């Protein structure tokens, strides 16, 4: 008797501790708020330290219920709540009615992610504390974070590196690439980040490679920057260069899903741009030769280990889709046997309507458009944007892109230092996560949550579905049918508080959207 009493005293607190620990594991951790710089309301970030980092889990809605997550300029970050679906009221009076129809489907989503540039990976590594580095990985890749499943990795250096470099720079004119190795940046920074993300991720991570500049000896100007072409006798060398990169990444545990022909080829094709960065210019003629006689046969060869890799053209400003897709495949249709799709970047979008993206693919079933780069604070028109303004910019970009049949979306640098670097050309831009290595902290900016409202809740294999807006509104929307047979809808409200009625069959959900907010709602598919 005495013994039992004694053990109860010991066991009860232990059981309580276990219950607390296990429930803590799936409890969302709120944002640890901090105002950067001058403390104005618009500099709000969420701080992660080695001991604390905010998190959010995706809760499966039960039948008859919906789950919503909301972030806003006023300071909500993935605030989760649930509501009950109601029977549709025919006389319901709301300013905004949104009717979902999961029987009308569009493109299948492949994924969301960001770029593991040298700058991002070096800055991540500068956090030193393994727990803090892991909090970054969890935040971006795991089920308690925003579930990235796509990462873009530069093949060699970019301007967002601490030096200019490519692989096999020496010996020069080494067409056999006898000295091909990866760089210290790959082994010490980029591969560890990618592998940590792959381990934490909920789905296989699709890695997209792109080259900014080959070694200078392959180029007409013998330099990393400036107006250039690939020397004609190095077209096959350049294809082999990519094959070797794929081999080395696979050997290091990172299988690559797709590569583009070049990053921003237009940049090296014109010679009057003030800010030069690592690049390679192309004529459509050379590009075709390269695709059809060199890269294509090298990768899709019987003996190739990379037969299934996606080959993507473009990877440049949106308006260049007319050049690197429409014109390329019209003038040189032989490229179509090798090209899986075209990639576009965000910059200078306002000069061309997004509809050119869906139009571009109408005649080419099976080919895709993917958005591979956006970045805020980099072009003068973005510089004035406030912090929540950048979240809106990102959410608007994703909505516009995915409304136009884009299958995947990747951001530029996953993180940068507090100055927006490093960058060997002196360039400075913003990123969703800023790293303060000295303080042993990192900061999640509103852009991070803006991406997460999509990336976390729209898993690979989701299909965009029809959503009809019955009234004129500034609230933008996207809706999906997920592989879990749920319906996910993301709403971007750039204006004042709104009441929105979402209609699904004979049911409705009435949501109050905060002013300047992004909301994700998930419910079971009742169709
Ligand atoms: C503080 O910073 C914000 C954002 O950078 C800026 O808009 C605002 O004018 C600044 N306020 C003061 C008092 O300096
Ligand atoms: C091979 O490349 C390394 C740099 O990665 C360089 O130090 C070395 O000199 C090169 N070897 C030859 C034979 O050029
Ligand atoms: C396939 O690859 C092998 C080895 O790299 C090469 O010898 C052959 O020419 C390639 N075939 C084609 C059609 O490119
Ligand atoms: C993505 O959206 C932006 C608007 O922010 C637009 O400029 C860009 O062209 C779009 N890209 C695609 C592929 O739809």
- How close is the Cα of 37 to the center of ligand 1, in Å? 8
CB 40 less than 6 A from any atom of ligand 1 = yes
- How close is the Cα of 166 to the center of ligand 1, in Å? 41
CB 39 less than 6 A from any atom of ligand 1 = no
CB 357 less than 6 A from any atom of ligand 4 = yes
| Tokens matching residue 292 | 């059809």
CA distance 295 to 280: 16
- How close is the Cα of 190 to the center of ligand 2, in Å? 21
CB 433 within 8 A of CB 448: yes
For ligand 3, atom 1, which residue shows the shortest CA distance? 301
Q: Which ligand is nearest to the CA of 298?
A: 3
For residue 348, the model assigns a pLDDT of 54
For ligand 4, atom 11, which residue shows the shortest CA distance? 401
Atom of ligand 3 nearest to the CA of 297: 14
For residue 5, the model assigns a pLDDT of 46
CB 42 less than 6 A from any atom of ligand 1 = yes
Pocket test for ligand 3, best of 242, 298, 306 (most atoms within 8 A of CB): 298
CA distance 173 to 215: 10
Smallest Cα–Cα separation from 494: which of 412, 350, 386, 409?
A: 386
Residue pointed to by tokens 């210290």 = 184
Q: What share of the chain is helix, strand, coil (3-state, %, to 5)?
A: 30, 25, 40
Pocket test for ligand 1, best of 42, 386, 388, 420 (most atoms within 8 A of CB): 42
Task: Spell out the domains of the chain, with CATH numbers in brackets.
Answer: 26-42+61-107+464-524 (2.60.40.1180), 113-435 (3.20.20.80)
CB 511 less than 6 A from any atom of ligand 4 = no
CA distance 508 to 19: 37
Q: What are phi and psi of 330, to 5 degrees?
A: -75, -45
For residue 272, the model assigns a pLDDT of 57
For residue 25, the model assigns a pLDDT of 47
Q: Which ligand is nearest to the CA of 300?
A: 3
Q: Which ligand is nearest to the CA of 169?
A: 2
CA distance 88 to 158: 54
Average pLDDT, consecutive stretches of 10 residues, N- to C-terminus, the chain (527 residues): 46 48 66 84 91 97 96 97 92 80 96 97 98 98 98 96 98 98 98 98 96 96 91 97 98 96 75 74 89 96 96 75 75 88 68 57 77 70 74 94 91 94 92 96 97 98 93 88 97 94 93 97 91
CB 170 less than 6 A from any atom of ligand 2 = yes
- How close is the Cα of 300 to the center of ligand 3, in Å? 9
CB 192 within 8 A of CB 297: no
CA 299 to chain centre: 26
For residue 375, the model assigns a pLDDT of 74
Active site residues: 264, 373
For residue 19, the model assigns a pLDDT of 45
Q: What are phi and psi of 114, to 5 degrees?
A: -150, -175
Q: Which ligand is nearest to the CA of 305?
A: 3
Alpha-carbon dihedral sign for residues 243, 249, 255, 261: negative
pTM score: 0.90
- How close is the Cα of 32 to the center of ligand 4, in Å? 32
- How close is the Cα of 40 to the center of ligand 1, in Å? 6
CB 344 within 8 A of CB 326: no
CB 401 less than 6 A from any atom of ligand 4 = yes
For residue 380, the model assigns a pLDDT of 57
- How close is the Cα of 177 to the center of ligand 3, in Å? 16
CA distance 171 to 354: 45
For ligand 4, atom 5, which residue shows the shortest CA distance? 397
For residue 354, the model assigns a pLDDT of 56
For ligand 3, atom 11, which residue shows the shortest CA distance? 301
For 83-86, the CB contacts below 8 A with 24+ separation are 83/509, 83/511, 85/504, 85/507, 85/508, 85/509, 85/523, 86/507, 86/508, 86/509, 86/510
Residue 13's contacts (CB-CB under 8 Å, 6 or more residues apart) are none
CB 297 less than 6 A from any atom of ligand 3 = yes
Which residues lie across from 444 on neighbouring strands? 46, 433
For residue 356, the model assigns a pLDDT of 59
CB 301 less than 6 A from any atom of ligand 3 = yes
Q: Which ligand is nearest to the CA of 307?
A: 3
CB 172 less than 6 A from any atom of ligand 2 = no
């Amino acid at each position: 008797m005495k013994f039992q009493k004694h053990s109860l005293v010991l066991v009860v607190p232990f059981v309580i501790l276990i219950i607390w620990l296990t429930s803590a594991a799936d409890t969302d951790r709120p944002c640890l708020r901090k105002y950067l710089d001058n403390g104005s309301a618009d500099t709000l970030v969420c701080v992660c330290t080695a001991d604390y980092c905010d998190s959010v889990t995706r809760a499966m809605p039960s039948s008859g219920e919906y789950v919503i997550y909301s972030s806003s300029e006023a300071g909500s970050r993935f605030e989760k709540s649930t509501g009950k679906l109601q029977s549709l009221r025919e006389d319901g009076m709301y300013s905004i009615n949104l009717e979902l129809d999961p029987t009308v489907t569009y493109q299948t989503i492949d994924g969301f992610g960001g770029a593991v540039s040298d700058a991002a990976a070096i800055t991540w590594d500068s956090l030193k504390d393994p727990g803090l580095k892991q909090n970054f990985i969890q935040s971006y890749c795991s089920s308690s974070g925003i579930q990235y499943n796509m990462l873009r990795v530069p093949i060699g250096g970019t301007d967002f590196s601490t030096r200019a470099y490519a692989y096999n720079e020496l010996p020069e004119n080494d067409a056999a690439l006898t000295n091909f190795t990866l760089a210290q940046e790959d082994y010490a920074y980029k591969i560890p980040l990618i592998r940590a993300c792959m381990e934490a991720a909920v789905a296989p991570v699709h890695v997209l490679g792109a080259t900014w500049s080959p070694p200078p000896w392959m180029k007409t100007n013998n330099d990393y920057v400036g107006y250039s072409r690939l020397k004609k006798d190095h077209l096959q060398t350049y294809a082999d260069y990519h094959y070797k990169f794929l081999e080395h990444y696979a050997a290091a545990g990172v299988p690559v899903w797709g590569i583009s022909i070049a990053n921003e080829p237009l940049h090296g094709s014109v010679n009057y741009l003030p800010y030069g960065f690592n690049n390679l210019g192309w004529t459509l003629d050379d590009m075709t030769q390269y695709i059809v006689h060199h890269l294509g046969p090298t990768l899709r060869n019987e003996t190739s280990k990379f037969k299934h890799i996606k080959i993507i053209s473009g990877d440049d400003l949106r308006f260049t889709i007319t050049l690197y897709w429409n014109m390329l495949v019209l003038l040189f249709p032989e490229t179509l046997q090798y090209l899986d799709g075209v990639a576009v970047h965000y910059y200078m979008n306002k000069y061309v309507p997004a509809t050119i993206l869906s139009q571009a693919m109408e005649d080419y079933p099976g080919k895709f458009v993917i958005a591979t780069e956006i970045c805020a604070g980099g072009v003068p028109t973005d510089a004035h944007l406030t912090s929540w303004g950048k979240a809106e910019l990102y959410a608007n970009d994703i909505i516009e892109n995915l409304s136009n049949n884009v299958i995947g979306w990747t951001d530029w640098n996953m993180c940068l230092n507090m100055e927006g670097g490093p960058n060997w050309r002196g360039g400075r831009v913003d990123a969703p996560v800023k790293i303060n290595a000295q303080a042993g902290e990192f900061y999640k900016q509103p852009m991070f949550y803006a991406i997460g409202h999509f990336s976390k809740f729209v898993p690979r294999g989701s299909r965009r579905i029809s959503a009809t807006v019955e009234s004129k509104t500034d609230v933008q929307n996207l809706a999906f049918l997920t592989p879990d047979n749920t319906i996910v809808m993301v709403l971007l409200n750039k204006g004042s508080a709104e009441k929105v009625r979402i209609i699904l069959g004979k049911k409705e959900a009435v949501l109050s959207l905060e002013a300047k907010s992004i909301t994700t709602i998930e419910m079971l598919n009742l169709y």
